[in-house]
């Protein structure tokens, strides 16, 4: 969502309202994180992730009801991220003229999405230990990608005319002024654009869902850790 849709968000809402969207998403995430931290410090946290935290704070009745919705939301989120990955991979193959012969673009997305979902299912079936190790690898990839995006924004753009047509004009004050105000189209508005971007700010659940891997420190362990 961050790499694929952020440019679309800025194009719709402008730089000003896009900044507001990012700030609002950050505020919601920080408040949620503080609430989860308060619950975690109120005793031992066992496996179950957000469902365990909710059921312990609100009771098993509310926890079960919210847990069902939460599981469905996770299933939808997996489909969302898999399709986004498959679309990006397909675009890269088409751009470098190495697509699978005899298949349309939509079938490329379906095939890549299918095998990606199978791979994720295999990781989930192996166990949370492997999932935790995979997350460390993904963390490194994301950090490198963010650094690459920042460094790449300062590299002078190519003289290729197609690059200019895609909207890459490098850092210019005129471009900033022209894109500061919103320009909603295709029946979009502030809240619809916010709803598209907000899933990019829900990564805290990835940490909460591996709550079973947390270590419990008693007073002796805490003293030994300090000294």
| pLDDT over threshold 70, residue 161 | no
What are the residues whose beta carbons fall under 8 Å from the beta carbon of 44, sequence distance 6 or more? 216
Listed as own residue / partner, the contacts of 98-107 with beta carbons closer than 8 Å and 24 or more positions apart are none
Q: Given pLDDT bands bounded at 50, 70 and 90, which one contains residue 223? A: very low
Average pLDDT (113-135) is: 80
3-state secondary structure the chain: CHHHHHHHHHHHHHHHHHHHHHHHHHHHHHHHHHHHHHHHCCCCCCCCHHHHHHHHHHCHHHHHHHHHHHHHHHHHHHHHHHHHHHHHHHHHHHHCCCCCCCCCHHHHHHHHHHHHHHHHHHHHHHCHHHHHHHHHHHHHHHHHHHHHHHHHHHCCCCCCHHHHHCCCCCCCHHHHHHCCCCCCCCCCCHHHHHHHHHHHHCCHHHHHCCHHHCCCCCHHHHHHHHC
Give per-residue pLDDT as tens, 92-110: 888 777 777 777 878 888 8
Q: Please give the backbone phi and psi of residue 177, each rounded to the nearest 5 degrees, phi first.
A: -65, -45
Q: Is the pTM of this model over 0.85?
A: no
Q: Given pLDDT bands bounded at 50, 70 and 90, which one contains residue 226? A: very low
- Higher-pLDDT residue of 46 and 179 is 179
Give per-residue pLDDT as tens, 171-203: 888 888 888 999 898 888 999 999 888 878 877
Residue 104: C-alpha distances to residues 4, 89, 218 (Å): 21, 14, 59
Which pLDDT value is given to residue 224? 43
Average pLDDT (5-30) is: 90
* Mean pLDDT, all residues of the chain: 79
- Residue 9 contacts residue 197 (beta carbons within 8 Å): yes
């Amino acid at each position: 969502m961050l790499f694929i849709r952020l440019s679309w968000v800025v194009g719709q809402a402008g730089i000003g309202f896009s900044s507001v969207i990012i700030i609002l998403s950050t505020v919601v995430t920080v408040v949620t994180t503080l609430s989860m931290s308060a619950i975690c410090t109120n005793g031992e946290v066992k496996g179950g992730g957000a469902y365990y935290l909710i059921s312990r704070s609100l009771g098993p009745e509310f926890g079960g009801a919210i847990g069902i919705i939460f599981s469905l939301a996770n299933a939808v989120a997996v489909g969302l991220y898999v399709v986004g990955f498959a679309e990006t991979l397909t675009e890269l193959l088409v751009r470098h003229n190495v697509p699978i012969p005899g298949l349309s673009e939509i079938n490329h997305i379906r095939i890549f999405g299918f095998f990606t979902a199978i791979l994720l299912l295999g990781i989930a079936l192996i166990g949370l230990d492997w999932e935790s190790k995979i997350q460390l690898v993904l963390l490194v990839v994301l950090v490198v990608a963010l650094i690459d995006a920042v460094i790449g924004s300062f590299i002078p753009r190519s003289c290729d005319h197609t690059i200019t047509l895609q909207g890459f004009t490098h850092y210019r004050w005129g471009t900033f002024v022209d894109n500061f105000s919103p320009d909603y189209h295709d029946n979009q508005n502030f809240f619809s654009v916010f709803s598209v971007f907000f899933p990019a700010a829900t990564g805290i659940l990835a940490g909460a869902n591996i709550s079973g891997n947390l270590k419990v420190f008693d007073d002796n362990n805490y003293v030994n850790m300090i000294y």
